[in-house]
Amino acid sequence: MREIRPRQLKQYLQEQDRPPLLLDVREPWEFEICHLEDSTLIPMRDIPDALAEGLIDPEQTIAVICHHGIRSRQVGLYLQHFGYRDVINLAGGVEAWARELDLSMPTY
């Protein structure tokens, strides 16, 4: 699993023909406060069901996002355990994104 900072993820997103799945694993109330554009919310507790239902494409690059990068790292490792090969963890999470890239993004 790759660990990348917000600036690196932003650049990566701009360079891709097929954007990765931006998988936000926070709680709905957190997602309502702030989230990355085009991200998909699947709370951490729902990831096993999402995998069982085939909601996450194992062939797609997945950038996992949370508040500070801890839950997303755990989900990334979980995905790798189930054979997902191209997983990125947003180190620092949306908090770092707000501090480093988007000062207008609400924080909590």
Query: Which residue in 47, 62, 66, 88 is the catalytic one?
Result: 66
| Extended strands (E) in 18-98 | 21-24, 40-41, 62-65, 87-90
**Catalytic annotation on 66?**
yes
CA 99 to chain centre: 17
Active site residues: 66
